[in-house]
Amino acid sequence: MDGGIDDALALILALRSPEIEVAGITAVSGNVPVEQAAINALRVVELLERPDVWVAEGLARPLARDPIRAFNFHGRDGLGDSNLPQPKLRPTAKTALNAMSETLTSAKKHEVTIICTGPLTNLASLLIESPHVKSRIEEIVVMGGAYGITKYGVGNETPVAEFNIYSDPEAAKIVFEAEIRLKTVGLDVTTIPQLELVKRDYARIKKSRGKASMFATRILETNIRAHGRFTLHDPMAVAAKIRPSLYKFSDCRVTVETKGEYTTGMTVADRRDLKEDQLQGRPVMMCSDVDPGFKRFFLDRLN
């Protein structure tokens, strides 16, 4: 995760969901620098009293480019400039790659799912450095990409590229080509208007006095005030694992553009009506629709 507001909400959802066990978290450079992303993960872990869940600092830079930030949207602190106290918990002394590699090495075959809610730098580096861990991964769920399969599937960082993929397209290419089962939850679905938090939802969160709701109220405040709504990109990737019945996936081939003059970071979906072996790109299970019940599910878990 890369320390943004929706990353924090995604982590709350994950830690509040008995259907999954969170093995650990790696922070990555993205919305904010990696140190801040780790602090924000620790804030959530501390809030929900889960010091057993390790948080590791990952890579401070994309594989081949300068980092891009999203301070305008997520605030300098990544959490809406909410002035939250510093967490007492510290990141593990292990590097993110070592922490992930250890967790995966001690897991059974196909036991672990990796949910990515930031640029794919950490995961790509792990797959290159420790390819033996691949067999332990059941699947990878990526919040990222814009595939043109709904009318909302256009870029948010450039006309055609989504932020997480655009931030480190070389890493995304490695992950998409890794031959591990890959599910994508892209802007095509995360920006469907009925799935966004609106003022009425915010009022409901604000009314609840639970600690997760109070935290969410604080980190969402500036965005709700400025835009009247908030898009739940990252929680939607987590919920794909917890409530798959709310999701529709379709098989598609995808290529990640790394060299385009105008199209770097584009996730090129081959939607042509051709035979399987004539299509371009790697097979991906692409989310094509999410039931509006997602929002109720998310709000209930926050309570």
How large is the angle between the packed helices 211-227 and 199-207, nearest 10 degrees? 150
**233 noted as active-site residue:** yes
Select the residue interacting with ligand BDR from 45, 62, 115, 162 (CB under 6 A). Answer: 162
Total residue count of the chain as it appears in this document = 303
- Of the pair 226, 274, the CB lying nearest ligand BDR is at 226
Q: Which is nearer to Ca ion, 162 or 201 (CB)?
A: 162
Contacted by 70, from ligand BDR, Ca ion, none: CB < 5 to 8 Å by type: ligand BDR
Please tell me whether residue 168 binds ligand BDR under the rule CB under 6 A: no
- Whichever of 79 and 279 has its CB closer to ligand BDR, that residue is 79
The residue from 11, 24, 28, 31 that contacts ligand BDR (CB under 6 A) is 31
- Give 54 or 166: the residue with its C-beta nearer to ligand BDR: 166
Residue 257 binds which of ligand BDR, Ca ion, none (CB < 5-8 A, kind-dependent)? none
Tell me: does residue 29 bind Ca ion (CB under 5 A).
Answer: no
Q: Contacts with Ca ion in 232-251 (CB under 5 A)?
A: 234
Q: Of 164 and 217, which has the nearer Cβ to ligand BDR?
A: 164
Choose the binding region for ligand BDR from 48-56, 134-142, 162-170, 280-288 (rule: CB under 6 A). 162-170
Is 162 an interacting residue with respect to Ca ion (CB under 5 A)?
no
Under the criterion CB under 5 A, does residue 4 sit at the interface with Ca ion?
yes
Whose structure tokens read 């591990």? 180
70 near ligand BDR, rule: CB under 6 A? yes
Rounded Cα distance between 154 and 156, Å, is 7
In the complex with ligand BDR, the residue whose CB is nearer, 6 or 77, is 6
Q: Give residues 102-131 in contact with Ca ion (rule: CB under 5 A).
A: 117-118
Smallest separation, CB 271 to Ca ion (Å): 26
The token pair that represents 288 in the structure block: 């094509």
Q: Near Ca ion by CB under 5 A, which window of 5-13, 47-55, 72-80, 103-111?
A: 5-13
Partner whose binding site includes residue 301, from ligand BDR, Ca ion, none (CB under 5 to 8 Å by kind): none
Query: Three-class SS string for the chain?
Result: CCCCHHHHHHHHHHHCCCCCCCCEEEECCCCCCHHHHHHHHHHHHHHCCCCCCEEEECCCCCCCCCCCCCHHHHCCCCCCCCCCCCCCCCCCCCCHHHHHHHHHHCCCCCCEEEEECCCCHHHHHHHHHCHHHHHHEEEEEEECCCCCCCCCCCCCCCCCECHHHHHCHHHHHHHHCCCCCEEEECHHHHCCHHHCEEHHHHHHHHHCCCHHHHHHHHHHHHHHHHHCEECCHHHHHHHHHHCHHHEEEEEEEEEECCCCCCCCCEEEEECCCCCHHHCCCEEEEEEEEECCHHHHHHHHHHC
Residue numbers of the site for ligand BDR (CB under 6 A)? 4, 6-7, 31, 70, 117-118, 143, 156, 162-164, 233-234
Q: Which residues are catalytic?
A: 233
